[in-house]
């Protein structure tokens, strides 16, 4: 079951593309979690490029962007570099999809996550969420409006 608005988001520590651990509970600002199926897929590439282009808008509102997929650190490193992405990509790699499962967005039949956005407030509560079809880029507008509503 997908994590509902108002729920306390599960804490996690995942490795970013540089090998650094990122722990959700150590972030003291709103967070946009961008769950996406896979590096290198056309729709994921477009979606993450949109968020990268909008990063300054999120920064100006005090929110942090974090991309999450089941791909490993090395894949994230190459993908982030090739796509010139400006925010961390976290590896929900081992155990595969454990964080996506805790948010209710892991697709067991495919071994990937749903295309899902969660906006968390400073206390790690879900203030907004959106699940999109795998082949559809949801853009950044909804998440940006949700972040603005936190101000």
Q: Where are the domains of the chain?
A: 13-149
User: First CA to last CA across the chain, in angstroms?
Assistant: 29
Measured CA to CA, the distance from residue 22 to residue 90 in angstroms comes to 8
Q: The pTM is what?
A: 0.97
Measured CA to CA, the distance from residue 32 to residue 129 in angstroms comes to 9
Q: Is 61 exposed, middle or buried (0-12, 13-18, 19+ CB in 10 A)?
A: middle
Superfamily of domain 13-149: Glutaredoxin (3.40.30.10)
Q: Catalytic residues, which ones?
A: 44
- Say whether the peptide bond before residue 95 is cis (omega within 30 degrees of 0): yes
Q: What is the pLDDT along the chain (151 residues), one digit of tens a residue?
A: 899 999 999 999 999 999 999 999 999 999 999 999 999 999 999 999 999 999 999 999 999 999 999 999 999 999 999 999 999 999 999 999 999 999 999 999 999 999 999 999 999 999 999 999 999 999 999 999 999 999 8
């Amino acid at each position: 079951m997908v994590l509902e608005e108002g729920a306390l988001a599960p804490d996690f520590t995942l490795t970013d593309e540089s090998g650094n651990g990122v722990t959700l509970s150590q972030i003291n600002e709103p967070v946009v979690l961008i769950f996406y199926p896979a590096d290198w897929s056309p729709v994921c590439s477009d979606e993450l490029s949109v968020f990268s282009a909008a990063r300054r808008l999120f920064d100006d509102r005090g929110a942090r962007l974090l991309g999450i997929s089941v791909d490993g650190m090395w894949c994230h490193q190459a993908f982030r570099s090739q796509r010139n992405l400006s925010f961390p990509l976290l590896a929900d790699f081992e155990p595969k999809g454990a964080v996506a499962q805790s948010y209710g967005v892991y697709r067991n039949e495919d071994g990937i996550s749903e295309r899902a956005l969660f906006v968390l407030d400073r206390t790690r509560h879900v203030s907004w969420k959106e699940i999109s079809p795998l082949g559809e880029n949801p853009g950044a507008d909804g998440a940006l409006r949700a972040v603005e509503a936190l101000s």
